[in-house]
Amino acid sequence: MRIALLGWDLEREAIDAIGRLGADVVALTRWFADEPEREAHAGWLEVRCPHEIGGGPNEEATAFGVGAVRAASNSGLGFGFDVVHALDWKTRPAAGELAARGEPRAVVIASERAAEEDVEGDPGFGPRVGPDAWICDHPWGAERLRAWLPIEDDSPILTIPTPAGLTFWTDRHGPRDGPAEGPCIVLTFHAGDRFSTRAILGGVAQAREKAPGLVAAVFGTDPRCLRLRRRLKAEGLLSARWGETCVPSSGRWNAAASQAAVVGVASDDLVDDPFAHAAWLVGAPVVRVQGGDPEALARDLLDAVFDRERREADVRVGSALVARRLDPDAVAARWLEVYRRILDRRRGVGAKADRAESGPAATGPSVPFPEMRSRLSLIPVSSREALASWTLRPDDWRGALEWLGPESVRAVLTIRLFDVTDVAFDGLNAHSTSDVDLGPGENHRTIALPFDGRSLAACLGVRSRWGYFHPITHSRICHLPREGSAPESPPRRLRVMPRRPGV
């Protein structure tokens, strides 16, 4: 599996873990003047993409997309990625463009980070309408995303928590100084959770009889959550500090949970519930509110509020369980599970429908890449070897086949080499020519030559079985070094004088 990870800032620990699992990983990120453009790490390659800085956030996202596509084209990496994962919102145009230029069944994954939810606007996914799947680092971010996306959008939304996502919190997300009120219960529901509004209302009311001032806040995107909030407000049981809306930001949810006496979730198993994980990390005990018995719910709420030893033990054990899931190796393994699942589903779709979805005729926002074209580069490797890398635009390939006409049957992509040693090449005066036929999935190849120290020109084109050749793009002339020992240079010596006293 060949994976491209694009990030404004890379999550290096998780990428290291993916590389250790055996995947072929290329990470594309920003470039700074004092850093190399390519750097090899243990198990993955980092490619820094020079791009224009300035303008608004969307303009920077577009500029990064241009830089990423140019880096993939010019460096020989190509566009043959199975999975393209945009780790943040500024790299989404680049991810969509890389996938559109590569394999027709390439998968695009987009990460939705809790810290980025206040960003205005969305740069889109290049020529793609949207990603094949979303990965959220905070469970409440996933719920908000389900509320934002259109109903007809069937892209799966998955929650893979990270330490940065679950511990994200800033002062702007919730008032520390608000109206005076008693202990607060933060009720959080997934879309489609089963719960009884009557039982929850009765349980909170009974618990308040023994805990004066007890109030509840409701977080959820389901219409039943709005109904529950209205009934709690009518009974005077709704929190005045956190009860304004059912769909706040992830940071506001963290702030509410960190100041809550208890967090209630409608889940069959708290060990696998991401809301329970987030609550344990911010130090809040968790209770299940799924049952239909108000008295049992009231007892659970009161135990969580007043039984300090039990509450601290609950949070301590829960935090230990969550810490294992937040390990970089665990996060990387879950990412790979998502890649494999979505890739298998994508490959199950017919190639014709896939090309119609991700091809140039697809509708939706697009990112202009006017300078991109079919490219061929020839780089000397040794005195008798050269590395050829190329990028072929689909419309150039179709145009060449149309030019060949009936001869396009069994035509192959070919590199034609011209030996132009010691001549001013004008296209017709090469010493000799030779053809190298290329496979359908290749984007680079090391070409062996019979002589050393030659100067080569190369042309990428389509050759029919009868020898007709239609050129598409040319490379610069490549000069191979001659064999032999390196020239000797006169030795140089440095003389060090002792330091004089008093200096």
Model confidence at 48: pLDDT above 60 = yes
For the CA atoms of 272, 274, 275, 278, the dihedral, rounded to the nearest 10 degrees, stands at: 110
Cβ neighbours for 299, distance < 8 A, ≥ 6 positions apart: none
Top pLDDT among 460 and 254 is at 460
Give the pLDDT confidence score for residue 251 in this predicted structure. Answer: 75
Average pLDDT score over the chain = 78
Model confidence at 52: pLDDT above 90 = no
> Tokens 């298998």 — which residue?
344
Q: Concatenated DSSP letters for 12-41?
A: HHHHHHHHHTT-EEEEEEE--TTS-SEEEE
Confidence of residue 369 (pLDDT cuts 50, 70, 90): very low
Find the range with the poorest average confidence among 362-366, 404-408, 456-460. 362-366
Confidence of residue 184 (pLDDT cuts 50, 70, 90): confident
Q: Map residue 376 onto helix, strand or coil.
A: strand
Confidence of residue 350 (pLDDT cuts 50, 70, 90): very low
Per-residue tokens: 388? 């050829």
Top pLDDT among 446 and 359 is at 446
Q: Once rounded to an integer, what is the mean pLDDT over residues 121-134?
A: 75
Model confidence at 171: pLDDT above 60 = no
Model confidence at 8: pLDDT above 90 = no
Residue 462 parent element (H or E): strand 455-463
Model confidence at 364: pLDDT above 70 = no
Model confidence at 368: pLDDT above 60 = no
Model confidence at 234: pLDDT above 60 = yes
**Residue pLDDT, tens place only, 413-456:** 999 999 998 888 877 888 989 999 888 778 888 888 888 888 99
Query: 399-417 burial, b for 16+ CB within 10 Å, e for fewer?
Result: ebbeebeebbeebebbbbb
Q: What is the DSSP letter of 192?
A: T
Confidence of residue 460 (pLDDT cuts 50, 70, 90): very high
Calculate helix-pair angle for 308-325, 328-347, nearest 10 degrees: 60
Cβ neighbours for 257, distance < 8 A, ≥ 6 positions apart: 186, 263, 278, 279, 282, 284
pTM: 0.63
Strands (E), 73-132: 83-86, 107-112
Domains and CATH numbers, the chain: 2-162+328-358 (3.40.50.2000), 171-321 (3.40.50.2000), 375-479 (2.60.40.10)
Identity of residue 308: R
